[in-house]
Structure 1
Amino acid sequence: MFSHRPLQENDLDAICSLPQNEEELYFMFPKAVYPLTPEQIVEAVKNRLEPTVILCDHIVVSYANFYDNDCESCWLGNVIVSSDYRGKGVSQFLIDTMESIAKQNLKVKKLKLVCHNTNTRGILFYKKYGFKPFDISVRVKPSGEFIAGIHMEKKL
């Protein structure tokens, strides 16, 4: 039902439509300004590895990439799933896909990520699929509100 492939230029508008509001964009891409634009994605991808889209019947339904690969581990970033496809297995397919890419292409032994404390659904999802918290950092939302970034990791 789902497939994946590297990001293509013609995917940018679809990815920009995935965050439904400023908070979702902040969860996905804290440095971006709402609404997300193709230019923001293109700029971010310059410093990212393996930008990947998940497709359902040739429609982009999810996106993620990696950053800060140190040969031992890397960070999963810019994770987003279309609101129309949440709870339908896309998130699990995305995580399985990105774990496989991290192991095979980047040869890392550990995958890390940051999930904001206000994203309860995300924290519980990552815990369910084997990610464990190992640190907390202070984050500042565009509104100026302080929140916690929960650093999580999983051995691959």
Structure 2
Amino acid sequence: MTTFTYRDMEEKDLLIISSFPSSDDELFYMGPRFVYPLTPDQIVAMLENRHSPTVVLGEADTPVAYANLYDVDAERSSCWLGNVIVSNAYRGHGAARYLLRTMMTLAREKYRLDKMKLYCHNTNTKALLFYCNNGFVPCGSRIIENHRKETIVSIEMERTLHLGD
């Protein structure tokens, strides 16, 4: 079993993160505004409104997963999880769970927040199951167009952040 660590994303990680989405569908799930293929410049542009860009490191301290936070709101004690992606080679090996736990810890300890929210598209069944299995519950939805101009549902999910999560 792989032992994971994490750190703040660094400029040297951008090219590796850009290689994670292997299709336009995966990239849409990572971020609806991105255009396939993902480039480092697109990630940098997105970071203007993001907090705590974080990479999970696998073997040889190589990035294997990435996410960030946005709309950090101290008044509402909540934030949104964004741009979640895991390298194909590390899917099913605990990297996503480690990344999610890391981001929840950052939200709770660094920003002193009590709630994390996210959007997950109805067409991304694996991710919906993953988030449900990790304590997120649906709390709303919105109708959007995907990258193919098809109408889909983006499901709003939330989770209370507890000490020891």
Tell me the TM-score range normalised by the shorter chain: over 0.9
Residue type at the aligned position of 1:125 = F
Partner of 2:128: 123
Count, aligned residues: 156
Q: Tell me the C-alpha RMSD between the 2 structures.
A: 0.6
Partner of 2:84: 79
- How much has 1:106 moved relative to structure 2? 1.1
- 2:4 aligned residue (2, 7, 25): 2
- How much has 1:95 moved relative to structure 2? 0.8
Partner of 2:98: 93
Instruction: Tell me which stretches of 4 or more aligned residues in structure 1 moved more than 4 Å.
Output: none
- Paired with 2:41 and 2:92, the residues of 1 have a C-alpha distance of 29
List alignment gaps of at least 5 residues for structure 2: none
Pairing 1:22–2:24 present:
yes
Tell me the percent identity.
Answer: 47
TM-score (norm: length of structure 2): 0.93
- How much has 1:127 moved relative to structure 2? 0.3
- How much has 1:11 moved relative to structure 2? 0.1
- Paired with 2:40 and 2:96, the residues of 1 have a C-alpha distance of 23
TM-score (norm: length of structure 1): 0.99
Partner of 2:49: 47
- How much has 1:76 moved relative to structure 2? 0.1
List alignment gaps of at least 5 residues for structure 1: none
- How much has 1:70 moved relative to structure 2? 1.1
- 2:107 aligned residue (102, 111, 123): 102
